[in-house]
Structure 1
Amino acid sequence: MKLYYSPGACSLSPHIALHEAGLAFEPVLASTKSHKLQDGTDYYGINPLGYVPLLELDDGTRLREGPAIVQYIADLVPNKNLAPANGTLQRYRLQEWLTFIGTEIHKTFSPLFSPATPEDYKPLAKEKLASRLKWVDSQLEGKQYLMGDHFSVADGYLFTVTNWAKPTGVDLSDLPNLLAYRERVAARPAVQAAMKAEGLGK
């Protein structure tokens, strides 16, 4: 398998999932700015949408979108318990989290990275993020991870997007459950391996 990624982008989530799963894969750096690979290949020829992540299977099949990719990875190694079994209510709970993280947190952070975003919009985005993250903080009370005591692929995704708080000036200091959770996730060997591979600090 090949994982097309860009350092620190949302592709860190499947990168973490692959390390947690213990699966062999080839990481392929795809610049989100130049949309070229290191050998000069046009990334649009691989993913016409131009963004990461993209997972290419050994038979050449390509899978896009982080929440779909991480569930695929989890299902390859059911014994690792990275996702509840398909068809169970808990699996839908996982999908609930993946959807919430993608639509309410990931997509609200996105404008804060764009030079085209009007400055007067950014405080509104930060306000929305603050309310969503406050709710996440309340959901983490008394829990190790989003789904309880077991790490799931949703945790890798939440960790990835909350990494963006510092560079975008989003304050997490009044969210003790989220901060403690982030420390727990950051301490996992698979998370450290993925971060190191992407040249990222903690």
Structure 2
Amino acid sequence: MKLYYMPGACSLSPHIVALEAGLPLQLVRVDGKTKRTESGDDFLQVNPKGYVPTLQLDDGEVLTEGPAIVQYLADRNPASGLAPANGTLPRYHLQEMLGYINSELHKTYSPLFSPATPEPVRQERKEYLRKRYATLDAVLAKQEWLLGGQFTAADAYLFTVTNWARHVDLDLSEFESLTAFQQRVAARPMVQAAMEAEGLLRKSA
């Protein structure tokens, strides 16, 4: 399988999930501006949407959208526990959480990365994010992971988007449980491996 990615972007989430599931993965870096891969291929020929993550299966089939990709990867190794079994209520809770992170957090960050966004809008978006994070902080105050005692694809997604906070000057230090969560995820060996592979961590000596 090939994962088309940009370092530190939302594609980090399926990258983590693939490693946690023990799945072989070929990384293909994409330039967000030129829409070209490192080898010069036209990324738009793979995914006309023009954004990552994009997963190309061994048979050439292409899957897009992070929440769909992480579930596909998790289902390749059910024993990993990264996604509850299909058809069960816990699986719908996973989809519920992935949807929340996708719509309420992920997309809210987008205008904060644009220098053209007016300051009043920027502040409104930050306050919106803090309110949404307060909900998740309350969940994490009661349990180690978003769905309880098992690390899942939802945790990889939350970790990924929350890492963006420092890049847009969003102070989340008030959320102690969220901060502890970020530290727990960052300490996982497969998370460190994914971040190192994307150049987000210095390689061990």
Q: Normalised by the shorter chain, which TM-score bucket?
A: over 0.9
Determine the structure 1 residue equivalent to 2:160.
Answer: 160
Q: Is the 8 A contact 2:10 2:160 kept in 1?
A: yes
Determine the structure 2 residue equivalent to 1:83.
Answer: 83
Q: Is the 8 A contact 2:192 2:201 kept in 1?
A: no
Determine the structure 1 residue equivalent to 2:198.
Answer: 198
2:126 counterpart of 1:126: yes
- 1:135-173 CA distances to partner (integer Å, 9 max, x unpaired)? 110111121110111000000000000000001011111
Determine the structure 1 residue equivalent to 2:104.
Answer: 104
Deviation at 1:25, TM superposition (A): 1.1
Deviation at 1:45, TM superposition (A): 1.2
Unaligned runs of 5+ in 1: none
Determine the structure 2 residue equivalent to 1:61.
Answer: 61
Q: Under a length normalisation based on structure 1, what TM-score does the superposition of the two structures give?
A: 0.98
Residue identity (%): 57
Q: Is the 8 A contact 2:137 2:178 kept in 1?
A: yes
Q: Is the 8 A contact 2:109 2:125 kept in 1?
A: yes
SS in structure 2 opposite 1:29? strand
- 1:99-138 CA distances to partner (integer Å, 9 max, x unpaired)? 0000000000111012332232100000100100111101
- 1:53-106 CA distances to partner (integer Å, 9 max, x unpaired)? 000000000000000000000000001110000000100000000000000000
- Which amino acid is 2:25 matched to? F
Q: Under a length normalisation based on structure 2, what TM-score does the superposition of the two structures give?
A: 0.96
Q: Which moved more, 1:38-47 or 1:78-87?
A: 38-47
Q: Which moved more, 1:135-144 or 1:50-59?
A: 135-144
Which aligned runs of 4 or more in structure 1 are off by greater than 6 angstroms? none
Rounded to whole Å, the distance in 2 between the matches of 1:137 and 1:76 is 30
How many residues are treated as equivalent by the alignment? 202
Rounded to whole Å, the distance in 2 between the matches of 1:145 and 1:172 is 18
2:14 counterpart of 1:14: yes
Deviation at 1:12, TM superposition (A): 0.2
2:169 counterpart of 1:145: no
- Which amino acid is 2:177 matched to? N
Rounded to whole Å, the distance in 1 between the matches of 2:16 and 2:115 is 28
SS in structure 2 opposite 1:120? helix
Rounded to whole Å, the distance in 2 between the matches of 1:136 and 1:71 is 21
Rounded to whole Å, the distance in 2 between the matches of 1:73 and 1:39 is 25
| Cα RMSD (Å) | 1.0
Determine the structure 2 residue equivalent to 1:34.
Answer: 34
Unaligned runs of 5+ in 2: none
